[in-house]
Amino acid sequence: MDKIKIKNLNLYYGTFQALKNINLDIPDRKITAFIGPSGCGKSTLLKSLNRMNDFVDNCKITGSITLNDKSIYDINANILRKRVGMVFQKPNPFPMSIYDNIAYGSRTHGVVSKSKLDEIVEKSLRAAAIWDELKDRLKKNALGLSGGQQQRLCIARALAVQPEVILMDEPTSALDPISTQKIEELIQELKQEYTILIVTHNMQQAVRISEKTVFFLNGEIIESGDTEQIFSFPKDKRTEDYITGRFG
């Protein structure tokens, strides 16, 4: 089943067309990797999926994006962003305690019960495979954590509001190899319950963790398919040239 369906999507920043006639279906509970050189539109598409481009002046979008067959423009933007969470390149914990970071989203959505919040915090930190490391320091400031821990905290924060889709924009590019490995393992665990889209510049990471890969170039999708097929026998020469490092 396809969780997200994108049809004839065009996106303009002023007169610059950043996405050109994008047609793409995102399978449910699978990991889809977006690859391509910088400025090719992959992050722009990612941000379109939870309407973060609404914040950008002069951004015009045509075409359709549906979540469970319902247009994302017919869903309240705050609700949409609860259902489609996002993890960024640099970990961005709020300057508050670990506990409050995780509870923040639930509180803004009206959860006030201490026991309920305790449950959400523990469940989210466990799901992000960081509970054992943090359970004795929940009241400590999140900014004191290592980069890898901060990123897993951000993933836990995204999970706390029980999203259906998680968008990840280069989530490990600022992390050391061990933290990267932990995040990759976590992402693979999470796909059992969530639909995951990940933008990555690390080809080997795309091979390791994703089932589907989409290659972007100059705002267009050049090729999409099973990750193994894309990295073994790409159909388009431009895909081959990019993944083998001949350009980009």
Partner 1 sequence: MRKKFDEQLDDLSQEMIYMGNLIEQAIENAVDALIHKNVEKAENIINSDDKIDNQERKIESLCLHLLLQQQPVAKDLRLISSTLKMITDMERIGDHATDIAELTIEMANQPYIKKLEHIEQMAKEIILMLINCLKAYVTRDVLTAENVIKHDDKVDKLFYMVKKDLIQMIHENYDYGEQASDLLLIAKYFERIGDHTTNIAEWIIFSVTGKHEKIKDF
Interface residues with partner 1 (CB under 8 A) are 203-204, 207, 231-234, 240, 243-248
Q: How far is the CB of 230 from partner 1 (least distance, A)?
A: 9
Report DSSP letters for 95-143, one per residue: SSBHHHHHHHHHHHTT---HHHHHHHHHHHHHHTT-HHHHTT-TTSBGG
Q: Smaller CB distance to partner 1: residue 35 or 165?
A: 35
Strand order in the sheet with 220-226: 84-87, 165-169, 195-199, 31-35, 212-217, 220-226
Q: Smaller CB distance to partner 1: residue 190 or 230?
A: 230
Q: Given the DSSP bridges, would you call strands 84-87 and 220-226 parallel, antiparallel or unpaired?
A: unpaired
Residue 25 bridge partners (DSSP): 5
How many other CB atoms sit within 10 Å of the CB of residue 238? Answer: 18
Q: Smaller CB distance to partner 1: residue 81 or 208?
A: 208
Helices 147-160/98-108 angle, 10° precision: 20
Element holding 3 (H helix, E strand): strand 2-13
Q: How far is the CB of 240 from partner 1 (least distance, A)?
A: 5
Q: How far is the CB of 224 from partner 1 (least distance, A)?
A: 16
Q: Smaller CB distance to partner 1: residue 35 or 138?
A: 35
* Contact of 124 with 156, CB cutoff 8 Å: yes
Q: Smaller CB distance to partner 1: residue 73 or 233?
A: 233
In whole angstroms, give the CA distance from residue 226 to residue 63: 25
Q: Smaller CB distance to partner 1: residue 116 or 237?
A: 237
